[in-house]
Amino acid sequence: MPFEPVILFFLLGALAGLIRSDLRIPAVLYESLSIFLLLAIGLKGGVELARYPLGDLVFAAACVVLAGALIPLIAFPVLLRAGKMARADAASIAAHYGSVSVVTFAVGSTFLAGQGVEAEGYLTVFLVLLEFPALMIGIWLARRGEGGGENGRGWGKVLHEVFAGKSIVLLLGGLVIGWVAGSEGLKPLDKLFFDLFKGMLAIFLLEMGLVAASRIGDLRRAGWFLAGFAIVMPLVSAGIGIATGLLLGLSVGGTTLLATLYASASYIAAPAAMRIAVPEANPGLSIGAALGITFPFNLLVGIPAYHWLATTLHGVFA
């Protein structure tokens, strides 16, 4: 199995961070790359979505969201009881692991393309839908122990932060544009958004490697339990994703991408929402686990493993 080249850029960034190199990606470039990737993923998903009747996706989308909601509900008691974490920290981390990583999804899509494996294009719709339910569950879990007190943190502000956040606006906006324009309408933009996608992702992953290396200190202070959780939880979540994909009749590629989505952990939308809704939670724990361990684990080990398992099980149940 050939090694996906874009992952080498992540490893280069991680190495640069560990040796304390002066390598830095300018903040304006990082922001521009994130906007590009979110739009490109949304546009591609919209083009594929135009090929399917929307009514046929309602049942599948409902199943995907309901199955995804299990992830924070599983993670929270493990963190609270076995990990002996504060309620706010356990809820925040559970929300991060129930939400999804757009970049991990992009790497998974690139991996499948490199293997010549196709996936249902409407998986981007699931990507958008899975961004926020876990955040709402995480906030509810954190507030259950407050005796109903809101402490000035209204749901309206939280919902605005989630739904008006960059990730949702660009993904959903790109999805609608791609759906309305279709493949023919977007042909003039192919060279920008589709042909350059892999190169842009490579530079973005270089920055992600630098950031991941900077989070190692947070994990050391948190202890071995959180490090173990950051590896085991994605495997459990991926199992839920593969089971859901099989039940919905997704292809091998679609099942792999759904498992990748469930196994990923948010480090963009979730930190912003948790900062407002659960300010007493330590962001170093959740971001450190999600970006310092789970993200590289999925890139290096998880995605190939999920693809192998999806292929194997499809062969068994076909």
Tokens describing residue 229: 């959780």
- The CATH architecture that domain 5-14+26-144+153-317 belongs to is Up-down Bundle (1.20)
| C-beta neighbour count of 104 within 10 angstroms | 25
Along the 318 residues of the chain, how does pLDDT read in single tens digits? 456 788 899 999 999 999 999 999 998 998 899 899 989 988 988 888 888 888 888 999 999 999 999 999 999 999 999 989 999 999 999 999 999 999 999 999 999 999 999 999 889 889 888 877 888 898 888 877 655 444 445 667 767 766 777 777 888 899 899 999 988 899 999 999 989 999 999 999 999 889 888 877 777 777 789 999 999 999 999 999 999 999 999 999 999 999 999 999 998 778 877 887 788 888 888 988 998 899 999 999 999 999 999 999 998 876
pLDDT at 154: 61
Contact yes or no for 206/30 (Cβ under 8 A) = no
Q: What is the pLDDT of residue 149?
A: 47
Domain ranges of the chain: 5-14+26-144+153-317
pLDDT at 318: 60
Question: Long-range contact list for 216-221, CB < 8 A, 24+ apart?
Answer: 216/18, 216/288, 216/292, 218/284, 218/285, 218/287, 218/288, 218/292, 219/288, 219/289, 219/292, 219/293, 221/284
203 burial type by CB count under 10 A (0-12 exposed, 13-18 middle, 19+ buried): middle
Task: Give yes or no for a contact between 285 and 267, defined as CB atoms under 8 angstroms apart.
Answer: no
Residue 269 has a CB neighbour count (10 Å cut-off) of: 24
Q: Which amino acid is at 190?
A: D
- Which pLDDT score, from 0 to 100, does residue 152 have? 44
CA 265 from chain center: how many Å? 5
Q: Which residue shows structure tokens 């309901």?
A: 66
